[in-house]
Amino acid sequence: MRTLLLPFFLVACGTSAATDTSTGDTADTADTNDTADTQDSAPDLVAECETTACGGDPTGEWELVQTCFDDAATDFGKCEGTTIRLSDFQLQGSLSLGADGAYTNTITGGTFSTEVAVPAACNPTAYCADVQATLTTDYTCADDGAGGCACASTSPWSASDDQGTWSAAGADLMMGDASAPFCTDSDELWVDLTGAGFIPLQMVYARK
């Protein structure tokens, strides 16, 4: 899975906002009490991101049918109260886990949304157009009704094709150098990528 580079901007209290291309803070470990952002109808293995790793035999051909992740907002930047939240992951792809130990993990594309909340204290000019002008990608900002700004952007997820060797030990699925908890039954495969990248994504596949 590709590392996601987030567009960040720096908002300093009492000063004009400036662009910041650093990755900043990242999402916390998935909170199973949060409601998951999902695509399509929820497969049996997942109920609001609460699936427990159980292992099993994941050998086979799989189609990505659901993306689930922790939707909590995360603090970032230098102005207290400014947060970022990822949402609405809509990814397409497939996973091949061959009996010969070879795998192909393909993402054909998709989109995700980014929401930035800027409180009034971090909006010194009181104009959301000024905040919008500092962002590094195509955001739209609007007044949040309390003197701050609510900014949103929809971004593409790049296509990728990763190949290598895989193995399973207990409830851990190893693909190349990455290891992730997983659970499978005859029809579905759930893989928790929280520890394999800095976005706590959980992927659900249906057997082809």
87 occurs within a structural domain: yes
| Separation in Å, CA 189 to CA 1, 38, 62, 125, 169 | 16, 15, 8, 50, 15
What pLDDT digit, counting tens, does each position of 167-196 carry?
999 999 999 988 999 999 889 999 988 766
121 occurs within a structural domain: yes
Rounded to whole angstroms, the Cα distance separating 78 from 56 reads 45
1 occurs within a structural domain: no
Which of 51, 2, 18 lies closest to 130 in space, CA to CA?
A: 18
193 occurs within a structural domain: yes
Domains: count for the chain: 1
pLDDT at 20: 34
14 occurs within a structural domain: yes
Which residue range is the domain that position 192 belongs to? 9-207
187 occurs within a structural domain: yes
Model confidence at 9: pLDDT above 60: no
4 occurs within a structural domain: no
Residue of higher predicted confidence among 79 and 72 = 79
What pLDDT digit, counting tens, does each position of 81-113 carry?
999 988 888 899 999 999 999 999 999 999 999
pLDDT at 50: 64
3 occurs within a structural domain: no
What pLDDT digit, counting tens, does each position of 25-58 carry?
333 333 333 334 434 443 444 444 567 899 999 9
